Structure 1
Amino acid sequence: MSEMVSAETLRAFIARCTTAAGVPASDAATVAGLMAEADLIGADGHGVFRLPQYIRRIRAGGMNPKAKPRIIEERPAAALIDGDNGLGHLAVTLAAETAIAKARTQGVAWCGVRMGNHAGPASLYARMPMAAGMIGLYLAVGSANHLPPWGGLELLLSTNPIAVAVPTEHEPPIVLDMATTVAAYGKVKVKAQRGEAMPEGWMIDKLGQPLLDPKRASEGLLLPIGGYKGYGLALIFGLLAGTLNGAAMGRDVVDFNADDTSVTNTGQAILAIDIAAFGDPAAFRARVDALARELRGSQRLPGVDRIFLPGEQSHATRTRRAAEGIPIPPPLRATLDGLAGELGVTPLFG
């Protein structure tokens, strides 16, 4: 039975742990806020679940706790951020803030990241321009390769996600957040920790047979969305978020699930589009609202109770969890209690 914890309590715990691992307090607060937000929106494989892994990499020397992300290349509507091998949340936040500031004057701005690390769910960063009244788009190279080229067996690509966030006036915002594989690897890890089987269609083994045991995930291959089309998207997103920035792609990608000491050089990219450059923002938001209602109210197949738009369910999850708390399953609590003991900090439920 999961125990419930408030977002505020979770943020404070994450900040305690990251500070104890050597991260400056202001950076720890930024990371803690984003990780707790991941849990609030229901991205359980990318929130506090990842904390032990981050701390392990810091303590093993694979990640720089005192990193200072900085702009190393810049144009009026573009910038390249070097993450200094720190927590990925910090570098991508700087990229988002830079893109937003540039888009205010240029109408649109693209910022890339190199020398970053895993940064949580893609939607966190697409939502940053959206919170500033813009459209946000985020791409990333995943932090381990789990996808072969179409027809191949060698793992040369990752889940390479995309998120797009579009503001609305009264409706829940439109937020697409998806991997280019049928399931993100974080969901596989959550299944393994909870002792649950994977649905058929997530992974296959190297003989092409369905793989349902998440504890055997290292023996298998994630399946791309839409067959060869998902493979193509994974490649293109990786070129834009990784290769363009001088970040890792292909055989250069380090499996941060298995390697705590190597620098990952993770790449990400974020695009901010200022709606005002294309017309009245309020009128645009009203048109998005009207389209959302049109889609939701359209004729449904038999047995379908509701048509959802991207982001509606995470919006509802956030509302519910903000009021009722974030569920922490027993296996995760045991892991977090152990981490608190190692770091000498007050546990989450202390």
Structure 2
Amino acid sequence: MAGAPVPGAALAEFAARAFTSLKVPEGDARAVAELMVEADRLGYDTHGLFRLRQYVNRLRDGGCNPAANPHVLRETVATALIDGDNGLGQLAMAQACDLAIIKARQAGIGWVGVRGGNHAGPAALYVRPQARAGMIGICAAVGSANHVAPYGGTDLLLGTNPIAFAAPGGADPFVLDMATTVAAMGKIKTLAQKGEPMPEGWMVGRDGKPLTDPNRKDEGFLLPIGGPKGYGLAMVIGLLAGVLNGAAFGSDVVDFTKDTESPTNTGQFVAAIDIAAFGDLGDFTATANRVFAEMRASTPLPGYPAVRVPGDGREAARTQRVADGIALHPALRAELDRIAQDLGIAAL
């Protein structure tokens, strides 16, 4: 059960204090903290303040560079490759998102790869700006730990490898942000933190039998969506976000939770497609909104709720959390208090 809501500004200030206590420059600390809180405002609670402990541990133990200087390694009119300098992942990804939009305005499309990165929160953060700019956004990443076996195998060689898309819409932009597994590992970790079981079908043990205790997650592996199709999609993302960028993929991936001392060389990419390069933005939006309305008007199956379009309700939920604050589960609140004690900083 969630506790009393906490203002987003207070959460951002707390996270920034944690980062600056670990020698992250104040500007970078505030930028990352704000993106983490934005994830919580949008309802991506497995990728917001919940991740602070992992980031703190890696900064503390030397696995993440507090004074990173993400920079462009190579560039063309439509593409770029950024080295994240092993810093907090949000820094390189925010830069990649901004640069992709700039390039799309010039060339119709912008594609920016990242290597030397780290976990950067939900991919949705790096596609929503494109939708606001009248563009289509795409983002994908190699997961920050291998929790998935190749289809039919038992060796952990793949991550959840998330992918996100966004496009302009009505009150809510179309935003699809998904892992290539049935469930993201972050959801399983939050269930463990809350002491709740996970449904069958999310994970299996190496004997092929279902796992439902989130505390036993290390005894098995996550299942890909659609069996071999999800496996294939995760491989494609690994090639585009990992191999293409000179980033980790397969057995080179470092588990950023268990190993807090080694650079992860996480690979990601952000793309922007300028709709105006293909036609009129107003026509695109009108047609998309008509199709979205058709989807929502589809008669639900018995026992099913009304049909939704990916992204529906996010803006209203965000507006409410901006006004009322963000509710924290008592287990997360307790973890934030422990972080404050460990770092010798003021608690929330």
2:142 maps to what in 1?
Answer: 141
Aligned residues of 1:204 and 1:223 also touching (Cα < 8 A)? yes
1:86 maps to what in 2?
Answer: 87
Aligned residues of 1:126 and 1:137 also touching (Cα < 8 A)? yes
How far apart, in 2, do the equivalents of 1:187 and 1:52 lie?
16
1:166 maps to what in 2?
Answer: 167
1:99 maps to what in 2?
Answer: 100
TM-score, normalised relative to structure 1? 0.97
Say whether residues 1:256 and 2:236 are aligned partners.
no
- Following superposition, the deviation at residue 317 of structure 1 comes to 2.8
The alignment-based identity, stated in percent, is 57
Aligned residues of 2:79 and 2:111 also touching (Cα < 8 A)? yes
- Following superposition, the deviation at residue 302 of structure 1 comes to 1.8
The amino acid across from 2:345 in the alignment is V
TM-score, normalised relative to structure 2? 0.97
2:17 maps to what in 1?
Answer: 16
Aligned residues of 2:147 and 2:156 also touching (Cα < 8 A)? yes
1:210 maps to what in 2?
Answer: 210
Which deviates more from structure 2 when the two are superposed, residues 19-28 or residues 294-303? Answer: 294-303
How far apart, in 1, do the equivalents of 2:189 and 2:112 lie?
30
Name stretches of at least 5 consecutive residues in structure 2 with no aligned partner.
none
- Following superposition, the deviation at residue 82 of structure 1 comes to 0.1
2:226 maps to what in 1?
Answer: 226
The amino acid across from 2:125 in the alignment is L
How far apart, in 2, do the equivalents of 1:217 and 1:42 lie?
24
How far apart, in 1, do the equivalents of 2:281 and 2:292 lie?
16
1:302 maps to what in 2?
Answer: 302
- Following superposition, the deviation at residue 118 of structure 1 comes to 0.2
How far apart, in 2, do the equivalents of 1:295 and 1:44 lie?
27
How far apart, in 2, do the equivalents of 1:32 and 1:265 lie?
21
Deviations 1:55-83 (A, max 9, x none): 11001000000100000010110000000
Deviations 1:280-336 (A, max 9, x none): 212211221111111101222122331011011433432332232211111111111
Aligned residues of 2:172 and 2:313 also touching (Cα < 8 A)? no
The amino acid across from 1:219 in the alignment is E
2:196 maps to what in 1?
Answer: 196
How far apart, in 2, do the equivalents of 1:308 and 1:315 lie?
14
How far apart, in 1, do the equivalents of 2:253 and 2:82 lie?
19
How far apart, in 1, do the equivalents of 2:316 and 2:309 lie?
12
How far apart, in 2, do the equivalents of 1:223 and 1:79 lie?
33
SS of residue paired to 1:37: helix
2:237 maps to what in 1?
Answer: 237
2:175 maps to what in 1?
Answer: 175
How far apart, in 2, do the equivalents of 1:300 and 1:189 lie?
32
The amino acid across from 1:131 in the alignment is R
Moved over 4 A (4+): none
How far apart, in 2, do the equivalents of 1:132 and 1:71 lie?
23
- Following superposition, the deviation at residue 130 of structure 1 comes to 1.8
Say whether residues 1:108 and 2:109 are aligned partners.
yes
The amino acid across from 1:207 in the alignment is D
Say whether residues 1:344 and 2:338 are aligned partners.
no
Aligned residues of 1:171 and 1:292 also touching (Cα < 8 A)? no
Name stretches of at least 5 consecutive residues in structure 1 with no aligned partner.
none
2:274 maps to what in 1?
Answer: 274
Count of paired positions: 347
How far apart, in 2, do the equivalents of 1:44 and 1:50 lie?
9
Which deviates more from structure 2 when the two are superposed, residues 298-307 or residues 73-82? Answer: 298-307
Aligned residues of 2:94 and 2:126 also touching (Cα < 8 A)? yes
Q: CA RMSD in A?
A: 1.1
The amino acid across from 1:253 in the alignment is V
Aligned residues of 2:111 and 2:271 also touching (Cα < 8 A)? yes
SS of residue paired to 1:242: helix
The amino acid across from 2:87 in the alignment is G
